[in-house]
């Protein structure tokens, strides 16, 4: 974790919420080395985590309120009640990833009360580095950590994918969330997207991965990603082979 991100979320937490957080949690973005549009077709992918991440400062609450401060959106605050319907926010798109993760955790039967959270990240948004997956995973990790939830890293990833599919509205595969949840330093992750079996693959010490920002924005929700997925599923059906269909 970078010291600047940690300081940013701690400062925002204390300024907006009025006390010091109990936990600092992070999840990384990713690049994919091999396998494009293959995760939702049950194929193999080889992504690796990168040294850009989303960081959360958090503390438990005794009531059922979740308060979230977004440092990257001018300390904007979102608040919702776990005992009420968790609804989509048209005017706060950033908040929907958080709401979706929490809603899906509850639907899976995990029990917890509220939380105070501040969040910031340096994963470039719309750059294909999975800023949304990092946010989903770090929120899942936050509730896992605060409430000692018995949830595996794979299920943290699956929960994040479900939130993006069903709440946010992007039919992404599992790769982005899985590498964010299970990535290891100096390793890529060979992932079988059908079985979710993983194998850490060490990176050669004399090799570096260079990431170049083209400054061309791309968002999965408003791109043709969902169209491509539908086309792949239709093609698999025509050829009579298996493809993952929601």
Supply the residues annotated as catalytic.
Answer: 176
CA angle centred on 140, ends 73 and 32, rounded to 5°: 80
- CA nearest to 118, candidates 27, 4, 23, 50: 23
Inter-residue contact 56 to 119 (CB < 8 Å): yes
- CA nearest to 114, candidates 56, 162, 64, 79: 64
55 sits in which H/E element:
strand 47-60
- Burial class for 74, CB neighbours closer than 10 Å (0-12, 13-18, 19+): exposed
- CA nearest to 230, candidates 210, 244, 214: 244
């Amino acid at each position: 974790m970078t010291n600047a991100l940690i300081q940013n979320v701690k400062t925002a937490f204390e300024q907006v919420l009025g006390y010091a957080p109990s936990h600092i949690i992070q999840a990384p973005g990713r690049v994919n080395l091999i396998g494009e549009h293959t995760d939702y077709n049950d194929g193999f992918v080889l992504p690796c985590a990168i040294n850009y991440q989303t960081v959360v400062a958090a503390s438990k609450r005794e009531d059922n309120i979740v308060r979230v401060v977004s440092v990257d959106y001018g300390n904007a605050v979102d608040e919702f009640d776990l005992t009420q319907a968790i609804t989509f926010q048209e005017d706060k798109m950033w908040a929907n990833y958080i709401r979706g993760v929490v809603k899906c955790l509850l639907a899976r039967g995990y029990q917890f009360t509220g939380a105070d959270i501040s969040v910031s990240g340096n994963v470039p948004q719309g750059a294909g580095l999975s800023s949304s997956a990092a946010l989903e995973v770090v929120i899942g990790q936050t509730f896992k950590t605060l409430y000692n939830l018995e949830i595996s890293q794979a299920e943290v990833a699956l929960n994040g994918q479900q939130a993006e599919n069903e709440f946010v509205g992007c039919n992404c595969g599992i790769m982005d969330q899985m590498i964010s949840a299970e990535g290891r330093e100096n390793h890529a992750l060979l992932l079988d997207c059908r079985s979710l079996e993983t194998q850490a693959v060490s990176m050669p010490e004399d090799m570096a991965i260079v990431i170049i920002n083209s400054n061309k924005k791309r968002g999965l929700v408003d791109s043709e990603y969902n169209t491509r997925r539908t086309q792949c599923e239709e093609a698999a059906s025509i050829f009579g082979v298996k493809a993952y269909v929601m």
